[in-house]
């Protein structure tokens, strides 16, 4: 049993962490995922979402089975009888049976989240490879180096955050060191993220994916603003050797030992004297590192 547990943990740790967290308008689910076809985040039922990490074929089979279980339960009884708690318990029984009876355990971790009519009614459950279930109030990080990501998310999480604030907190936590990488990632591109929400304000089906322009807006809001460049007026004057305005030029004031030149109009002392004080240096580039200057994911 210990060998099976170690095997499953190592397989899950090779992946990249995902996060789920509450915000004022519902529940946000964020996962680093460059694939546009293989989803880590999906819908289970009307107000219930599903997120997983690990082996894709294993958690995809679990997702389909969970959708079937929810549909049958809602058809036989009532749609309100389908809850995240019931689905989480069903997943726990299934994974527990596989872990104890199968020679190879599933290398997966699952989160089942349900958005309520108020933030107090929201539910987030984490199910591990051996069938253990934990209730996670507020937020959860799972898969990969979940401890480091969870610690970073705890520092930034607060109640009643807006969607932009919650996304910024999730992005900063996923960019923490050791999240499946040897070096720290400072930013993600829109094509490298899978983002979805359970929107409390929507009726019936609350699951909605965030893509394209809206995701770009959230990324722009989450990134820190570039630092303002200092004023170049005084620095350019000092670099060119010219005196500030209102003072006499060097060598022409009273008591100076060097007489002014009398050989016609004087030529500029440096190229910077003929350019606007705030312009780029000759041959240089006014492009900084920018928001896209980081290395690819």
Q: What is the pLDDT of residue 229?
A: 55
As separate numbers, helices (DSSP H) first and strands (DSSP E) second, the chain gives 7, 10
For the chain, residues with pLDDT lower than 50 are 179-180, 182-183, 234-239, 242-297
Q: What is the pLDDT of residue 269?
A: 46
Q: 105 CB contacts (<8 Å, ≥6 apart)? A: 4, 5, 7, 8, 98, 99, 129, 130
Q: What is the pLDDT of residues 154-175, one digit of tens each?
A: 999 999 999 999 999 999 999 8
Q: What is the pTM assigned to this prediction?
A: 0.73
* Pairing assessment for the beta strands 108-114 and 48-54 based on DSSP bridges: antiparallel
Q: What is the pLDDT of residue 232?
A: 53
Q: What is the pLDDT of residue 222?
A: 84
Burial (CB < 10 A; 0-12, 13-18, 19+), residue 61, is middle
Q: Please name every residue paired with 108 in a beta bridge, in sequence order, or none if there are none.
A: 54
Q: What is the pLDDT of residue 288?
A: 41
DSSP state of 24: T
- Element (H or E) spanning 169, and its range? helix 163-174
């Amino acid at each position: 049993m210990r060998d099976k547990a170690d095997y499953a943990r190592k397989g899950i740790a090779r992946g990249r962490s995902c996060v789920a967290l509450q915000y004022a308008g519902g529940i946000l689910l964020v996962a680093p995922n460059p694939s546009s076809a293989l989803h880590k985040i999906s819908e289970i039922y009307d107000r219930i979402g599903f997120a997983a990490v690990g082996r894709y074929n294993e958690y995809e089979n679990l997702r389909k089975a969970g959708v079937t279980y929810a549909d049958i339960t809602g058809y036989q009884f009532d749609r309100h009888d389908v809850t995240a708690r019931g689905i989480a318990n069903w997943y726990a029984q299934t994974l527990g049976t596989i872990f104890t009876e199968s020679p190879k355990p599933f290398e997966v971790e699952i989160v089942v989240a349900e958005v309520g009519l108020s933030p107090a009614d929201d539910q987030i459950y984490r199910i591990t490879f051996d069938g253990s279930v934990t209730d996670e109030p507020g937020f959860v990080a799972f898969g990969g180096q979940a401890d480091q990501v969870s610690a970073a998310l705890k520092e930034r999480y607060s109640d009643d955050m807006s969607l932009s604030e919650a996304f910024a907190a999730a992005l900063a936590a996923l960019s923490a060191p050791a999240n499946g990488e040897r070096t720290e990632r400072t930013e993600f591109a829109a094509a490298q993220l899978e983002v979805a929400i359970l929107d409390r304000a929507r009726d019936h089906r609350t699951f909605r994916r965030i893509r394209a322009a809206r995701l770009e807006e959230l990324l722009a809001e989450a990134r820190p603003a570039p630092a303002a460049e200092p004023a170049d007026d005084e620095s350019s004057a000092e670099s060119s050797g010219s005196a500030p305005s209102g003072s006499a030029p060097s060598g022409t004031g009273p008591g100076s030992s060097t007489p002014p030149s009398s050989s016609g109009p004087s030529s500029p002392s440096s190229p910077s004297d003929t350019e606007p004080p705030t312009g780029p240096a000759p041959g240089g580039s006014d492009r900084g590192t920018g928001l896209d200057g980081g290395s690819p994911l």
